Amino acid sequence: MGDEAKLRKQQDTLATGGFGVMLLSLWTILKFTVLMTVSANEMITVEEAEGLPEWAVFLVVFVVIFVIILAVVVFHLYIGIKAVSESRGQSGGIAYVVICAGMVLFNVIGICMYFSGNDTVTDADQDTKASSFLLDITALLIYSQLFWSAVQVKILKKRIAQKGNE
């Protein structure tokens, strides 16, 4: 298989990974919303004992949740859009590849946390934990594939450009 064919294959994989990362933002919104809502309820209970009114604690927790979700969505969209644009022949830069490598690392750490043994899981939480685990594995695979394809696209573009200059 020639370099041009390999490049087209990696560009297709990069585009698929880019769309996958953009779709991951929906899962991230759902996951953080559920986790922060549970944490917010616990936080409100704790802070009420400190003498703060419930509405003030709720407002602060809501703003924090909103900012986190917004940042994560923008982050996923940035990676996805850059990957798709690079797959279509435009320059995506190197920043999204570095960020993607960081996401691979964070996902590995996050998956390892499922096995840390510090968390007690009730029967009611088992389904949620299992689905979160499977989706985190999926995220790891998407980020890994996107990272690999992005690196391969950059290498193949350089190789093709060098052959064209000879």
52-85 residue pLDDT tens: 677 777 778 778 878 888 888 898 999 999 999 9
Do the beta carbons of residue 57 and residue 43 sit within 8 Å?
Answer: yes
> Taking 70 as the threshold, does the pLDDT of residue 49 lie above it?
no
Q: What is the pLDDT of residue 163?
A: 84
State phi, psi for 20 to the nearest 5 degrees.
Answer: -60, -40
Q: What is the dihedral of CA 54, 58, 122, 28, to 10 degrees?
A: 180
Q: What percent of the chain has pLDDT above 90?
A: 40
> Taking 90 as the threshold, does the pLDDT of residue 13 lie above it?
yes
Q: What is the pLDDT of residue 10?
A: 94
Q: What is the pLDDT of residue 81?
A: 94
Full DSSP string of the chain: --HHHHHHHHHHHHHHHHHHHHHHHHHHHHHHHHHHHHHHHHHHHHHHHTT--HHHHHHHHHHHHHHHHHHHHHHHHHHHHHHHHHHTTS---SHHHHHHHHHHHHHHHHHHHTTSS-----HHHHHHHHHHHHHHHHHHHHHHHHHHHHHHHHHHHHHHHHHHH-
Do the beta carbons of residue 28 and residue 76 sit within 8 Å?
Answer: yes
pLDDT band at 124 (very low <50, low <70, confident <90, very high): low
CA gap 21, 31 in Å, rounded: 15
